[in-house]
């Protein structure tokens, strides 16, 4: 590809612009760009084309972000949080780096699966909103567009999640909210500290309906 991956970040401005330009961004902070740790990082970067990867060996950049060398940090916009992985050990290979990113790459709308479930549980956001719907439905793209627009309104407050009702691995989640397939699509909101929840079955997802449902629950 023409764009080099990871992007080399030589100064603080480059790094800040790089982070602010994505829902999820990953930067590897290294002492030397040709070290074994950096090579493993590059290998992982090649496996996850949809996530932007940056690499910096600048002392000013490392100091600005308060990191030591050989740290991979994931920055995410949804809860304004970051996650670190120490890659100094030989045990931390490209597979481990890839898994770390897949687990923590929460987005404005995160698709639920066994890997992202871990990141969802570790998020600092206590309110989770689930859209439980059939991804194969012809209505899905438009539904997602509206759901994503609603997610922007609750950034930093509620974690928006998509649960594909077709997946066998999601059946337990659907039954947890006492929903049947015939009642889908549905919205389910959940407050993690005390497991308080509410459910709304709906034919159409609109920004207004999602907003109203969330505001009622938050109040």
Q: Looking at the structure, tell me whether residues 114 and 213 fall in a common domain.
A: yes
- How far apart, in Å, are the Cα atoms of 144 and each of 105, 137, 161, 174? 18, 11, 11, 19
Q: Which residues contact 173 (CB under 8 A, 6 or more apart)?
A: 112, 130, 132, 163
pLDDT average, residue stretch 83-102: 95
Q: Which residue range(s) make up the domain with 158?
A: 110-218
C-alpha angle 32-63-87 in degrees, rounded to nearest 5: 45
Q: Which residues contact 10 (CB under 8 A, 6 or more apart)?
A: 56, 58, 61
At residue 2, does pLDDT exceed 50? Answer: no
Q: What pLDDT shows up at residue 203?
A: 87
Q: Look over the chain and give the mean of its residue pLDDT values, rounded to a whole number.
A: 95
14 lies in some domain: yes
**141, containing H or E segment:** helix 140-153
Omega of the bond leading into 6 within 30 degrees of 0 (cis): yes
Q: Which residues contact 122 (CB under 8 A, 6 or more apart)?
A: 104
Partners of 190 in the β-ladder: 128, 197
Secondary-structure breakdown of the chain: helix, strand, coil percentages, each rounded to the nearest 5: 40, 25, 40
Structure tokens at 109: 């709308």
Indicate the residue among 68, 86, 104 that finishes a domain: 104
- How far apart, in Å, are the Cα atoms of 18 and each of 10, 55, 74, 160? 11, 11, 12, 24
- Using pLDDT thresholds of 50, 70 and 90, give the confidence band for residue 3: low
Q: Looking at the structure, tell me whether residues 114 and 184 fall in a common domain.
A: yes
Q: Looking at the structure, tell me whether residues 39 and 121 fall in a common domain.
A: no
- Using pLDDT thresholds of 50, 70 and 90, give the confidence band for residue 1: very low
Q: What pLDDT shows up at residue 99?
A: 96
pTM of the model: 0.88
Omega of the bond leading into 185 within 30 degrees of 0 (cis): yes
Q: Looking at the structure, tell me whether residues 116 and 211 fall in a common domain.
A: yes
Q: Looking at the structure, tell me whether residues 183 and 88 fall in a common domain.
A: no
In terms of Cβ atoms closer than 10 Å to its own Cβ (0-12, 13-18, 19+), residue 49 is exposed
Q: Looking at the structure, tell me whether residues 82 and 182 fall in a common domain.
A: no
Q: Are strands 24-29 and 158-164 parallel, antiparallel or unpaired?
A: unpaired
Under a CB-based contact definition with an 8 Å cutoff, are residues 162 and 179 in contact? no
pLDDT average, residue stretch 90-109: 95
Angle between helices 140-153 and 207-218 (to 10 degrees): 40
Q: What pLDDT shows up at residue 5?
A: 85
Partners of 128 in the β-ladder: 159, 190
Q: What pLDDT shows up at residue 123?
A: 92
Q: What is the CATH number of the domain that holds 190?
A: 3.40.30.10
- Using pLDDT thresholds of 50, 70 and 90, give the confidence band for residue 24: very high
């Amino acid at each position: 590809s023409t764009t080099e991956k990871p992007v080399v970040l030589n100064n603080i401005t480059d790094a800040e612009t790089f982070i602010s330009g994505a829902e999820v961004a990953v930067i590897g902070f290294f002492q030397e760009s040709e070290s074994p740790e950096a090579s493993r990082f590059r290998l992982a970067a090649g496996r996850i084309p949809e996530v932007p990867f940056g690499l910096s060996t600048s002392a000013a950049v490392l100091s600005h972000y308060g990191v030591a060398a050989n740290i991979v940090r994931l920055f995410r916009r949804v809860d304004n949080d970051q996650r670190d992985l120490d890659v100094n050990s030989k045990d931390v290979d490209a597979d481990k780096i890839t898994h770390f990113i897949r687990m923590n790459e929460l987005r404005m709308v995160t698709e639920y699966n066994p890997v992202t479930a871990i990141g969802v549980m570790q998020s600092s956001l206590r309110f989770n909103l689930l859209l439980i719907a059939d991804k194969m439905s012809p209505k899905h793209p438009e539904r997602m567009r509206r759901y994503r627009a609603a997610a922007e309104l609750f950034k930093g407050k509620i974690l928006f999640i998509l649960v594909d009702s077709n997946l066998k691995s999601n059946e337990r989640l659907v039954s947890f909210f006492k929903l049947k397939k015939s009642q889908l699509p549905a919205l389910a909101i959940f407050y993690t500290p005390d497991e308080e929840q509410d459910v709304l079955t709906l034919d159409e997802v609109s920004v207004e309906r999602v907003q109203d449902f969330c505001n009622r629950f938050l109040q």
